[in-house]
Amino acid sequence: MTLVAPVAGERLLGRTLRRARDWAPAAVVLVLSLALWQGLVAALEIERFLLPRPTQILKAFWEQRDTLWSAGLFTFREALGGFAIGCTAAILAALVLARWRRLGGALMPYAIAANAVPIIAFAPITNQWFGLLNPLSKMVIAAILCFFPVLVNTLRGLTSVRPSSIELMRSYAAGELEIFRRVRIPNSLPYVFSALKVASVLAMIGAVVGEFFGGSQEALGVQIRSATALFQFETAWAAILVASLLGIAFYLVIALVERLTMGWHPSTRTAD
Amino acid sequence: MSGAAAVSIRRVSKTFAAGDVVALQEIDLDIRPREFVSLIGPSGCGKSTLLRIVGDLIRPSSGEIVVNGKSAHEARLDRDYGIVFQDAVLYDWRTVARNIALPLEMAGWDRARRAERVREMLELVELTGFESRHPWQLSGGMQQRVAIARALSFSPALLLMDEPFGALDEMTRERLNAELLRIWRETGCTVLFVTHSIAEAVFLSTRVVVMSPRPGRIAEIVEIDLAQPRTGDTREDPRFFELVTEVREALHGGSDRGSPRLRVAE
Ligand SMILES: Nc1ncnc2c1ncn2[C@@H]1O[C@H](COP(=O)(O)OP(=O)(O)O)[C@@H](O)[C@H]1O
Ligand SMILES: [Mg+2]
């Protein structure tokens, strides 16, 4: 009982070509905007501290690739740690709140309010709590950033189940636990994954911004700040490029896991 | 006689606290084994409520239900009910085969037995070849057939159906009616069926229970003495039209053969 039927070679080829055709417009836009950027910066003689040319950024990226990547990975580890802590805590909390709805009803307004708080403003405070150089100070801010959207979405996924599908389970003599296992949790997966994708972005933001307020010299956020202070704007931009690439990769990995675990879902399937 | 009844409904009333609605008042009904009983009545007269009470999905405010000599609660825990709702209520993350196998998994059947049973059920509802599809890849009529196959897969003693074909077009509905009757004959289960179509109730049932609203109660019970098995010809039978008229009159409360109880309701 496989979810995805084996695909014949020629269908795979057709699919790849179709994919390429789908992506072509986006690639064209990327190349054109980079060219436009390069051209405008040169034509308008924009100072490099305002906006370096893409070629200068790429040059800086290439020359300092080793330090930049190791800084990137340092920061990414913090983001990943925060993501893991925050999302795990949020999913567990959502399970508890969905099981004991009274508790959920009492706490949810605060969770929704907390979701609207600019939590990143607490970064200097977590730096104080855990120590500037301790990666945990960045993980905690990333974790808190991830926590609320994942909590709110997971809870919605666990509870937005049609009453008739619960009644059906009860008619099979299912208890509360079995209803969770067989209906609520599978029903929540699309919600959980869309929250995890948001959280992956938030975790990177949390880690980098946390580092702006101080941290190890190895960290990407710290390097962006010191490069700017030393007028090495190309380096700062190259570091931002690294942060972006890591953020996008993180997002894509989650999207891939989503696709693999939810092959059944209409949204992850093409019409064939 | 309640010992011999498949379902025995004794003075069942239900008042919903929300809005103080008297959904059902003093319902008395015995359903014999292998009977096909339809509930019909205007919307809001308590048909779904009665079905849910029989299935132990909600509790009556007063009164008692006995199913095969057990309480409704015991019957539910013994998995005596196969339920089909108006929307098929299939689980999107399960294939057709695994939707049908769900109650079997929960009853602890082993894999081989489940597979065998699923194959039989797919054959029964004529969906062989669709086992690895997902529900959203099927038409409404096919989804409803999966729901029926799932409800029958574990051979429940009692099939509870709440307007199962209400959302389907007339042609699909007639085809599924015929299929349901064939399944009913082959499996020998007892059926309690809710509908708002008079023709459907008469065509399918051995008895039609006509309900009246506010408060929900039984207005009249019409014996359907059409020959079994029912076929396309049944719908052309003059007796079919007589019975349709009888049910319609009972529904409108305008029959001069109306029971005293019905007069009271007026
Ligand atoms: N959960 C509920 N809470 C409050 N009132 C309800 C509930 N379920 C049904 N009712 C009311 O009970 C009456 C009967 O409902 P129902 O059994 O669904 O009718 P039918 O299926 O015949 O259309 C209606 O007036 C309806 O509004
Ligand atoms: Mg109803």
Which structure tokens are listed for A267? 């949204």
Enclosing H/E stretch for A227? helix A220-229
Nearest CA in chain B to A271: B137
Burial class (CB in 10 A: 0-12, 13-18, 19+), B184: buried
Distance from CA of B122 to the nearest CA of A (A): 15
Q: How many CB atoms lie within 10 A of CB B172?
A: 17
Is the peptide bond between B229 and the residue preceding it cis, with omega within 30 degrees of 0? yes
ipTM: 0.84
Decide if A170 and B57 are in contact by the 8 Å CB cutoff.
Answer: yes
Which residue puts its alpha carbon closest to atom 11 of ligand 1? B23
Q: Determine if ligand 1 sits within 6 Å of the CB of residue B102.
A: no
Give the integer Cα–Cα distance in Å for B236 and B229.
14
What is the third-level CATH fold of A64-268? MetI-like fold (1.10.3720)
Give the integer Cα–Cα distance in Å for A55 and A50.
15
Q: What is the tally of structural domains in chain B?
A: 1
Position B222 pLDDT exceeds 60: yes
Domain limits for position B230? 7-80+156-257
Position A51 pLDDT exceeds 90: no
Q: Is residue B180 part of a domain?
A: yes
Q: Does B58 touch chain A (CB under 8 A)?
A: no
Q: Looking at residue B183, what is its pLDDT?
A: 84
**A267 vs A61, which has greater pLDDT?**
A61
pLDDT in tens, B233-245: 999 999 999 999 9
Which structure tokens are listed for A57? 């950024």
User: What average pLDDT score do residues B254-263 get?
Assistant: 43
**A7 vs B103, which has greater pLDDT?**
B103
pLDDT in tens, A189-206: 999 999 999 999 999 999
User: What average pLDDT score do residues B93-121 get?
Assistant: 93
Q: How many CB atoms lie within 10 A of CB A55?
A: 14
Which CATH number belongs to the domain containing residue B171 in this structure?
3.40.50.300
Q: Does B85 touch chain A (CB under 8 A)?
A: yes
Q: Looking at residue A267, what is its pLDDT?
A: 65
pLDDT in tens, A111-157: 888 878 888 888 888 888 998 888 899 999 999 999 999 999 999 99
Q: Determine if ligand 1 sits within 6 Å of the CB of residue B18.
A: yes
Percent of chain A with pLDDT over 70: 94
> What angle (nearest 5°) sits at the alpha carbon of residue A235, between those of residues A232 and A241?
145
CB B55 within 8 A of CB B81: yes
pLDDT in tens, A204-227: 999 999 999 988 888 999 999 999
State the alpha helices, DSSP H only, in A100-162. Answer: 101-115, 123-130, 135-159
Q: Looking at residue A9, what is its pLDDT?
A: 67
Question: Hey, of B87, B91, B158, B161, which one would you mutate to test binding to chain A, going by the most A CBs within 10 A of its CB?
Answer: B91
Q: At what angle do helices A185-212 and A65-99 cross, to 10 degrees?
A: 140
Give the integer Cα–Cα distance in Å for A54 and A57.
5
User: What average pLDDT score do residues B216-242 get?
Assistant: 92
Q: Does A190 touch chain B (CB under 8 A)?
A: no
Q: Looking at residue A1, what is its pLDDT?
A: 42
Q: Is residue B70 part of a domain?
A: yes
- Phi, psi angles (nearest 5°) of residue A233: -65, -35
Task: Quickly tell me which residue has 């079994």 as its tokens.
Answer: B228
Q: Determine if ligand 1 sits within 6 Å of the CB of residue B46.
A: yes
Query: B69 in the Ramachandran plot: left (φ > 0), alpha (ψ -120 to 50) or beta?
Result: left
Which structure tokens are listed for A86? 């925050």
Distance from CA of B81 to the nearest CA of A (A): 7
Q: Looking at residue A268, what is its pLDDT?
A: 55
Give the integer Cα–Cα distance in Å for A145 and A82.
9
What are the sequence ranges of the domains in chain A? Answer: 1-46, 64-268
Task: Quickly tell me which residue has 């029959």 as its tokens.
Answer: B255
pLDDT in tens, B145-184: 899 889 988 888 899 999 998 888 888 888 889 888 988 9
Residue B79 is nearest to which of A162, A172, A262, comparing CB atoms?
A172
Q: Does A262 touch chain B (CB under 8 A)?
A: yes
Which structure tokens are listed for A210? 């946390």
CB A97 within 8 A of CB A104: yes
Decide if A167 and B52 are in contact by the 8 Å CB cutoff.
Answer: yes
CB B24 within 8 A of CB B50: yes
Position A4 pLDDT exceeds 60: no
Distance from CA of B136 to the nearest CA of A (A): 7
Confidence band of A246 (pLDDT split at 50, 70, 90)? very high
Q: Determine if ligand 1 sits within 6 Å of the CB of residue B59.
A: no
Q: Does B94 touch chain A (CB under 8 A)?
A: yes
Residue A162 is nearest to which of B89, B95, B102, comparing CB atoms?
B89
Position B3 pLDDT exceeds 70: no
Q: Is residue B111 part of a domain?
A: no
Position B1 pLDDT exceeds 50: no
Decide if A172 and B102 are in contact by the 8 Å CB cutoff.
Answer: yes
Enclosing H/E stretch for B25? strand B21-31
Q: Looking at residue B173, what is its pLDDT?
A: 86
Confidence band of B258 (pLDDT split at 50, 70, 90)? very low
Q: Looking at residue B153, what is its pLDDT?
A: 87
Task: Quickly tell me which residue has 């489940």 as its tokens.
Answer: B114
CB A145 within 8 A of CB A205: yes
pLDDT in tens, B25-80: 999 999 999 999 999 999 999 999 999 999 999 999 999 999 989 999 999 999 99
Q: Does B134 touch chain A (CB under 8 A)?
A: yes
pLDDT in tens, A164-174: 999 999 999 99
Decide if A1 and B98 are in contact by the 8 Å CB cutoff.
Answer: yes
Confidence band of A8 (pLDDT split at 50, 70, 90)? low
Which structure tokens are listed for B214? 């506010």
Which residue puts its alpha carbon closest to atom 12 of ligand 1? B23
Q: Determine if ligand 1 sits within 6 Å of the CB of residue B48.
A: yes
Of ligand 1's listed atoms, the one at least distance from the Cα of B214 is: 25
Which residues is B212 bridged to in the sheet?
Answer: B217
Which structure tokens are listed for A201? 């972005």
Sequence-distant (≥ 6) Cβ neighbours of residue A243 within 8 angstroms: A72, A75, A204, A208, A220, A224
Position A3 pLDDT exceeds 70: no
Which residues is B27 bridged to in the sheet?
Answer: B12
